[in-house]
Amino acid sequence: MTELNDLPLRDSLRGKAPYGAPQLHVPVALNVNENTHEISEPILVDIISRLALALKDINRYPDREFTSLRNSLANYLGHGLTESQIWAANGSNEILQQLFMAFGGPGRKALSFTPTYSMYSIIASSTDTQYVEVGRGDRYEINEGLVVEAIKTHQPHITIICSPNNPTGTPVSLEVIKAAYEATSGILVVDEAYAEFSLNDDSALSLLEGRERLLISRTMSKAFAFAGARVGYLAADSAVCDAMRLVRLPYHLSALTQAAAEAALAHSSEMLRTVEDIREQRDRLYVSLQDLGLDPYRSDANFILVGGIEDPDGMWKALLDQGILVRNVGIPNTLRITAGTEAETSAVIAAITELVSAK
């Protein structure tokens, strides 16, 4: 049987590994930061009815400009945004890929602050963009001095700041975002995939006016419990949306995706009611792990990075044996745990308590 290395693969892709997390059928899956709450039946019924209407014209191509969806997203975000400043794609990963296709590529450089979302480096590799990693400071925090120094040293065409950061949950202040923007002549991408879980309103959306190189990436996968729908979106200057049109595939958002996303946005208040419960479970998880003598990092996301674990692989396996799936992201002595429902959070706390007490 032919193997990957037998193919005339592009040299820059040889030896690379694809992104992936274990997809196992377990009672408590807390490994990929999904919103584990189910969508209510009335909202599901409305989504299904809109999908049925979209199917009536499924023989035709969808709205290439997805204008209605962009209007709905602009209304959801507020901050005086209009549909001309909104872009959408099949998950925020496709948003990031299109950004790298438009602003990265051979001879260009991207910068981010690690540990951070692993897809940044993968997308950089797939677009032949040089990827520069600068380590975060104590407790995985970043400040103005660290960020500005990194940008001045490396002069990237693309700078990405994940806020809150994945996989550490670390929030980033608006002062850091403003300093980063002033320091670079390239584009600055603020990845706000987990923004709705933050307790403050420090979204970089408030900084967009007058900053044409500032781009805010968001997703409906997390707070909206819409991971399976694959809907990501971008807020930026309208010229950035024009740049995205240069690299997107024709009709890249299906009619069904557009219909489902608009239905969810029409019920945004109800869809986001679980966010407060998730915050409560996140904070409960934090306190419980701290009480057990572990070292959880502060988080504004829907997950906790837990430090102080002597044998992360062993604990991961022991939890899996009890039907609980968490994530080993490769940071020494840590595991990452999604804040799930109250019952799921109770289960993981009880299991870890038993494992720690058994030592």
Q: What does the longest C-alpha to C-alpha distance in the chain come to?
A: 63
State the amino acid at position 253 in one-letter form: L
pLDDT-derived band at 24 (thresholds 50, 70, 90) equals confident
Work out how many domains the chain is built from and give that number: 2
Name the average pLDDT for the chain.
96
pLDDT-derived band at 15 (thresholds 50, 70, 90) equals confident
Reply yes or no on whether the pLDDT at 265 is more than 80.
yes
| Separation between Cα atoms, residue 129 and residue 110, nearest integer Å | 7
The DSSP result for 11-71, as a single string, is: GGGTT-----------SEE-SS----SPPPHHHHHHHHHHHHHHHHTTTS---TT-HHHHH
Pair (186, 47) in one structural domain:
yes
Q: What does the DSSP 8-state code read for residue 327?
A: B
Chain-centroid distance, C-alpha 237: 21
| Separation between Cα atoms, residue 8 and residue 16, nearest integer Å | 14
Pair (12, 80) in one structural domain:
no
Q: What is the dihedral of CA 329, 334, 336, 340, to 10 degrees?
A: 160
Reply yes or no on whether the pLDDT at 228 is more than 90.
yes
Pair (45, 72) in one structural domain:
yes
Please indicate, yes or no, if residue 303 is contained in any of the structural domains.
yes
| Separation between Cα atoms, residue 172 and residue 177, nearest integer Å | 8
Q: What is the dihedral of CA 229, 234, 239, 240, to 10 degrees?
A: -90
Pair (219, 277) in one structural domain:
no
pLDDT at 23: 80
Please indicate, yes or no, if residue 187 is contained in any of the structural domains.
yes
Pair (111, 244) in one structural domain:
yes
Alpha-carbon torsion 225, 231, 234, 238, what sign? negative
Pair (181, 324) in one structural domain:
no
Reply yes or no on whether the pLDDT at 354 is more than 90.
yes
Query: Final residue of a domain: which of 250, 270, 290?
Result: 270
Q: What is the dihedral of CA 129, 142, 32, 337, to 10 degrees?
A: 150
Query: Final residue of a domain: which of 270, 298, 326?
Result: 270
Q: What's the chain's length in residues?
A: 359
pLDDT at 281: 98
pLDDT at 201: 76
Reply yes or no on whether the pLDDT at 61 is more than 80.
yes
Pair (110, 162) in one structural domain:
yes
pLDDT at 5: 83
Chain-centroid distance, C-alpha 119: 10
pLDDT at 345: 98
pLDDT at 205: 97
Pair (247, 281) in one structural domain:
no
Please indicate, yes or no, if residue 261 is contained in any of the structural domains.
yes
Sheet strands (E) in 231-279: 232-235
pLDDT at 16: 82
pLDDT at 322: 96
pLDDT digits (tens, 9 = 90+) for 316-343: 999 999 999 999 999 999 999 999 999 9
pLDDT at 9: 87
Reply yes or no on whether the pLDDT at 17 is more than 90.
no
Strand order in the sheet with 335-338: 295-296, 303-307, 335-338
Q: Please say whether the beta carbons of 159 and 108 come within 8 A.
A: no
Token output for 336: 């990452």
| Separation between Cα atoms, residue 17 and residue 33, nearest integer Å | 21
pLDDT-derived band at 18 (thresholds 50, 70, 90) equals confident
Query: Final residue of a domain: which of 216, 238, 270?
Result: 270
pLDDT digits (tens, 9 = 90+) for 73-97: 999 999 999 999 999 999 999 999 9
301-306 mean pLDDT: 98
Pair (87, 145) in one structural domain:
yes
Q: What is the dihedral of CA 258, 162, 127, 77, to 10 degrees?
A: 30
Pair (76, 99) in one structural domain:
yes
| Separation between Cα atoms, residue 323 and residue 26, nearest integer Å | 5
Reply yes or no on whether the pLDDT at 304 is more than 90.
yes
Reply yes or no on whether the pLDDT at 227 is more than 80.
yes
pLDDT at 2: 84
Pair (133, 282) in one structural domain:
no
Token output for 156: 């990237």
Domain that holds residue 305: 4-30+273-357
